[in-house]
Amino acid sequence: MPKFYNFFLIVACELDAFFSALISFIPGRLGNLLRRIFYKCKFRSSKNFLIGTGCKFCSPFNMTLNNSVSIGNNSYLDANGGLIEIGENVSINMNAHINASCGGLISIGDNCLIGPGVLMRTANHNFSMLNKPIRNQGHNFSDIIIEDDCWIGANAIILKGVRIGSGAVIGAGSVVTKNIPSMAVAVGSPARVNHFRHKK
């Protein structure tokens, strides 16, 4: 029985990987519909969402997508060891890399705009032991929290342990290593607050 069960599990995983790859490249409305049907039962929780072509999801059962989430072509989301939670009316542009694979939570609030090529990663490699290869020293991780109504510019990098306050704007190509307050406009590597948005 165990051998048969293991064989069945391997076949089921292979079929799942095959269909995931197949539907990820079907274009047009048909592709959008098939991806919505296929992933609806895989995500931890999901509502109305749109997934572009070429996207890959690792451990989608650890991901929550709220209403009206759009994920652009060739994006990669990995929650193998952690959680990813995406709020309502969030647009994630193409080639985004959102990775909580070693632990921690990535939380994106409502009405956020995530630019093309944005990278978020909850973990860093440990490297303190000089007599041991870095790849064998494991990781340390902590959450990334992006509050409501933020705009993360193209190719920005958001590192572990960062909270970006509501209404903040992160400039294109910036590297965010520390918390950014609400309504701030932050740019650079490392990102620093340039000015604050004000209501007219």
**50, 56 in Cβ contact below 8 A?**
no
State the Cα–Cα distance between residues 142 and 27, nearest whole angstrom.
36
Residue 8: pLDDT above 90? Answer: no
Range of the domain at 145: 2-196
Residue 12: pLDDT above 80? Answer: no
Q: Is 118 helix (H, G, I), strand (E, B) or coil?
A: coil
Quick check: is 139 catalytic? no
* Tens-digit pLDDT profile for residues 84-117: 999 999 999 999 999 998 889 999 999 999 999 9
Q: Minimal CA–CA distance to 59: which of 35, 40, 36, 42?
A: 42
**152, 175 in Cβ contact below 8 A?**
no
* Tens-digit pLDDT profile for residues 155-176: 999 999 999 999 999 999 999 9
Q: How many CB atoms lie within 10 A of CB 179?
A: 14
Residue 185 carries which DSSP code? E
Burial (0-12, 13-18, 19+ Cβ within 10 Å), 14: exposed
How high is the pLDDT of residue 148?
A: 97
Per-residue pLDDT band at 7 (split at 50, 70, 90): confident
Q: Model-level pTM?
A: 0.90
Per the structure, the count of domains in the chain is: 1
Residue 4: pLDDT above 90? Answer: no
* Tens-digit pLDDT profile for residues 110-144: 999 999 999 999 998 888 888 899 999 888 889 99
Tokens at residue 104, please?
């921690």
- Of the residues 125, 139, 195, 198, which is catalytic? 125
Domain of 70: which CATH number?
2.160.10.10
**pLDDT higher for 157 or 33?**
157
